[in-house]
Amino acid sequence: MHIHILGIGGTFMAGLALLARAAGHRVTGCDSGIYPPMSTQLMTAEIEFIEGYDAAQTAFEPDCYVVGNAISRGNPLLEAILDRGLPFVSGPQWLAEHILRGRWVMAVAGTHGKTTVSAMLAWILEDAGLSPAFLVGGVPLNFGVSARLSGISTDSPFFVIEADEYDTAFCDKRSKFIHYRPRTAILNNLEFDHADIFPDLGAIETQFHHLVRTLPSQGLVVSNAAESSLERVLARGCWTQVERFNDAAGWRATGNDADGSLQLLCGQEAIGSVRWGLTGEHNRNNAVAALLAARHAGVPFARSLNALARFKSVKRRLELRGSAAGVDVYDDFAHHPTAIAKTLAGLRSKVGSARILAVLEPRSNTMKLGVMKASLPGSLGDATQIFCYAANLGWNAAEVLSPLGEKAVVDDQLDRLVARIAASASAGDQVLVMSNGSFGGIHEKLLAALAAESSVQEVIGQQ
Domains of the chain are 2-92 (3.40.50.720), 102-308 (3.40.1190.10), 319-462 (3.90.190.20)
Q: What is the mean pLDDT of residues 154-171?
A: 92
Give the pLDDT band of residue 197 (cuts 50, 70, 90). Answer: confident
Q: What is the mean pLDDT of residues 187-212?
A: 91
pTM of the entire predicted model: 0.82
Indicate if the alpha-carbon torsion angle 309, 315, 319, 321 is positive or negative.
positive
Contact 328, 133 (CB under 8 A): no
Give the pLDDT band of residue 346 (cuts 50, 70, 90). Answer: confident
Q: Does the pLDDT value for residue 183 go beyond 60?
A: yes
What percent of the chain clears pLDDT 70, i.e. is strictly above it? 97
Smallest Cα–Cα separation from 286: which of 379, 294, 380?
294
pLDDT given for residue 329 in this prediction: 95
Q: What is the mean pLDDT of residues 170-181?
A: 96
219/318: higher pLDDT: 219
pLDDT, mean over the chain:
92
Q: Does the pLDDT value for residue 305 go beyond 60?
A: yes
pLDDT given for residue 104 in this prediction: 97
Q: What is the mean pLDDT of residues 113-140?
A: 95
pLDDT given for residue 335 in this prediction: 76
Q: Does the pLDDT value for residue 82 go beyond 60?
A: yes
Angle at 368 between CA 366 and CA 372, to 5 degrees: 55
pLDDT given for residue 154 in this prediction: 61
Q: Does the pLDDT value for residue 459 go beyond 50?
A: no
pLDDT given for residue 460 in this prediction: 46
Smallest Cα–Cα separation from 32: which of 456, 437, 447, 413?
437
Q: What is the pLDDT of residues 257-271, one digit of tens each?
A: 888 999 999 999 999
pLDDT given for residue 455 in this prediction: 54
Q: What is the mean pLDDT of residues 285-314?
A: 96
Q: What is the mean pLDDT of residues 276-296?
A: 94
C-alpha span between 63 and 369 (Å, rounded): 38
301/279: higher pLDDT: 301
